[in-house]
C-alpha cells in the first residue's frame, strides 16, 4: 500500500499552487524486534505520476523479495567487520589476514568515512587508478582490488548494498618502457663455482648446522620457511625424498610463539628427490642432534624438527628465518661473495643449475613448488639462452675446422 503527498506544500488544503514536489510512503514489512510496520519514504518527485512510478518499482521489488534496505554503515566499519568474517571461515592463514589488513588500509585512504551505499563505480575506479599513479606495483594494486571486491561482494550478500561498485572495475596495467626492459635486472644467484666455494666456506667456517642447512637449500631450492618447518618424519632416507607440506610462520621472531601453517600455495605441497650427498649429511646431522637431545633431555623442545636450536635457554626450538639470513650473510662475508645474496637466492641458484643440467622448465617449477613464477622463468630463459649461444659457438668452431 502506498501513500502519495506533498510534504512541503504551503497551500494548506487548497489546490496546490506553490510547486511543492511529491513524495511517497510505502510499507516495506515489519521490524523484527518491535513487530511494528516499517515504511520507506522518498520525496523530490516533480509530479504525482513520477512518484507513483517509483513507488510501483519499489513495490515490485518487495513483492518479488528483491528489495534491499541499504545500510548506513561506513566502509571502514564494514571492512573490519568483513575481516572478522573472513578470518572465521577457518581456512585462512594468519599471514594472509595480515596482508588483507594492509590492503584495507590502502582503501581507507579513499573510502574510510563514506557510507557503503554512497560509493559509486566511478569513485572506486578512480581510487584504483590513483594507486597506479602513486607508483604502486601491479601486484599491490591487484591485491587492494581483490580485497575491495570481497568486501563489497559480502555487503551485497548480506543485503547491506544493492549494487557492487567493483563489478566492472578495470585494473590499469602500466606499459613497460624499452628503457625499463633494458634495465630489468636478472635475479641474483650463485654460479656453479661460486656455489661450490660458498658451501666449502659453510662447511669449514660455518656455525652449528650451517653446512647441512645451506647444502639442503642449494640442492633442493627449499624456501626458508619450508626448511624451518621441516621435521624428520618428512624425510624418507630409503626412497631419498623430502615431503614439503608446511611452512614456518613467526613475524615477530619470538622463538616460542612460532606456528606451522599450510605452505604458500597448493602447488607448494610436493615430494622432491634428494641426492646421496644430502642424505649422507642429514644422517650425520641427525646423529649429532640426538647427542644434543640427550644432553638437554629435561629442557629440550622435542618438536622433531630437523634444524633446531642448541642454545641452552631454548634448545629444540626450530630455526627461524631471520637466523638463516644472518648465518648466510656471515658466510658470504667470509667467502668474499656478493653480500646482496639471500637464502632465497639459493632457489634461483638451484633453478639456474637445473636449467644447465637440461631439466625442463615445467619440471623445475614442480620441484620448486611453483605454479607460475615470472622470476623463475626469467632465470631459466636467461640460462638456456646462454646455452644456445654456447651451442652456436661450438658449432661454428666445428665448421671452421672442416
- For the stretch 251-280, pLDDT in tens is 777 888 898 988 767 888 999 999 999 999
- The pLDDT score that the predictor gives to residue 64 is 72
Q: What is the pTM of this model?
A: 0.65
Is residue 174 very low, low, confident or very high in pLDDT (cuts 50, 70, 90)?
low
> Which part of the chain has CATH 1.10.443.10?
192-388
Residue 305's beta-bridge partner residues?
231
Q: Report the pLDDT averaged over residues 89-117.
A: 88
Residue 182 has pLDDT above 60, yes or no: no
If one compares 212 and 188, the residue with the highest pLDDT of the two is 212
- Strand order of the β-sheet with 241-244 is 235-236, 241-244, 270-273
Please state the rounded mean pLDDT for residues 119-143.
92
In order of 232, 294, 310, the CA distances from 290 in angstroms are 12, 6, 11
Q: Does domain 192-388 have CATH number 3.50.50.60?
A: no
Look at residue 265 in the predicted model and tell me its pLDDT. 76
* 309-323 mean pLDDT: 88
C-beta of residue 58 within 8 angstroms of C-beta of residue 26: yes
Is the pLDDT confidence value at 67 over 80? no
Range 219-250 burial, b when 16+ CB lie within 10 A, else e: bbbbbbbbbbbbbeebbeeeeeebebbbbbbb
Residue of higher predicted confidence among 213 and 256: 213
Q: Range(s) for CATH 1.10.150.130 in the chain?
A: 75-181
Q: Has residue 75 got a pLDDT over 70? A: yes
What lies within 8 Å, CB to CB, of 258 at 6+ separation is: 248, 249, 250, 317, 318, 320
Model pLDDT, residue 112: 94
pLDDT at 54 over 70: yes
> Looking at domain 75-181, which CATH architecture does it have?
Orthogonal Bundle (1.10)
What is the spatial distance between Cα 170 and Cα 173, in angstroms, rounded to a whole number? 9
Q: 285: how many CB neighbours lie within 10 A of its CB?
A: 19
Q: What is the mean pLDDT of residues 197-202?
A: 97
Closest CA to 150 of 203, 208, 99: 99
Residue 66: pLDDT over 70: no
Name which residue leads in pLDDT, 141 or 15: 141
How large is the average pLDDT for residues 85-114? Answer: 88
Compute the average pLDDT of residues 180-185.
54
Q: Note the pLDDT of residue 61.
A: 73
Averaged pLDDT, 79-83? 92
Q: What pLDDT shows up at residue 205? A: 96
CA atoms within 13 A on the CB side of 395: 6
Give me the pLDDT at residue 149, please: 95
C-alpha 37/C-alpha 379 separation (Å) is 68
Examine the pLDDT at 228 and tell me if it is beyond 90: yes
Whole-number mean pLDDT of the chain? 87
Comparing CA positions, the residue from 306, 302, 310 lying closest to residue 282 is 306
Amino acid at each position: 500500500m502506498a501513500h502519495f503527498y506533498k510534504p512541503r506544500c504551503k497551500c494548506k488544503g487548497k489546490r496546490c499552487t506553490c510547486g511543492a514536489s511529491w513524495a511517497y510512503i510505502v510499507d516495506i514489512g515489519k521490524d523484527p524486534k518491535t513487530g511494528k510496520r516499517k515504511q520507506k519514504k522518498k520525496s523530490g518527485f516533480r509530479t504525482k505520476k513520477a512518484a507513483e512510478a517509483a513507488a510501483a518499482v519499489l513495490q515490485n521489488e518487495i513483492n518479488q523479495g528483491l528489495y534491499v534496505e541499504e545500510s548506513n554503515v561506513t566502509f571502514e566499519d564494514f571492512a573490519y567487520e568483513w575481516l572478522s568474517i573472513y578470518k572465521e571461515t577457518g581456512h585462512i592463514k594468519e599471514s594472509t589476514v595480515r596482508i588483507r589488513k594492509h590492503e584495507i588500509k590502502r582503501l581507507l585512504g579513499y573510502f574510510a568515512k563514506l557510507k557503503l551505499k554512497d560509493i559509486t563505480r566511478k569513485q572506486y575506479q578512480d581510487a584504483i587508478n590513483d594507486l597506479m599513479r602513486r607508483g604502486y606495483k601491479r601486484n599491490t594494486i591487484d591485491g587492494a582490488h581483490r580485497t575491495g571486491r570481497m568486501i563489497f561482494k559480502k555487503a551485497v550478500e548480506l543485503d547491506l548494498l544493492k549494487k557492487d561498485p567493483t563489478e566492472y572495475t578495470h585494473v590499469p596495467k602500466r606499459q613497460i618502457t624499452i628503457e625499463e626492459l633494458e634495465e630489468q635486472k636478472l635475479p641474483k644467484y650463485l654460479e656453479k663455482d661460486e656455489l661450490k666455494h660458498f658451501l666449502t666456506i659453510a662447511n669449514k667456517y660455518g656455525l652449528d648446522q650451517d653446512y647441512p642447512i645451506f647444502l639442503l637449500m642449494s640442492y633442493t631450492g627449499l624456501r626458508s620457511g619450508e626448511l624451518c618447518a621441516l621435521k624428520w618424519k618428512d624425510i624418507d632416507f630409503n626412497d631419498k625424498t623430502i615431503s614439503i607440506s608446511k611452512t614456518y610462520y613467526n613475524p615477530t621472531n619470538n622463538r616460542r610463539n612460532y606456528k606451522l601453517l599450510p605452505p604458500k600455495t597448493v602447488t607448494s605441497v610436493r615430494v622432491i628427490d634428494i641426492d646421496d650427498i644430502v642424505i649422507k649429511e642429514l644422517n650425520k646431522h641427525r646423529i649429532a642432534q640426538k647427542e644434543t637431545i640427550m644432553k638437554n633431555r629435561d629442557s629440550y623442545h622435542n618438536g622433531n624438527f630437523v634444524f633446531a636450536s642448541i642454545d641452552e635457554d631454548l634448545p629444540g626450538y626450530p630455526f627461524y628465518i631471520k637466523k638463516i639470513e644472518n648465518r648466510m650473510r656471515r658466510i658470504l662475508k667470509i667467502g668474499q661473495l656478493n653480500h646482496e645474496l639471500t637464502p632465497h637466492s639459493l632457489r634461483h641458484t638451484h633453478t639456474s643449475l637445473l636449467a644447465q643440467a637440461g631439466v625442463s622448465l615445467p619440471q623445475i617449477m614442480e620441484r620448486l613448488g611453483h605454479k607460475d613464477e615470472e622470476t623463475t622463468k626469467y632465470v631459466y630463459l636467461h640460462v638456456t639462452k646462454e646455452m644456445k649461444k654456447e651451442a652456436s659457438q661450438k658449432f661454428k668452431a666445428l665448421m671452421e675446422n672442416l
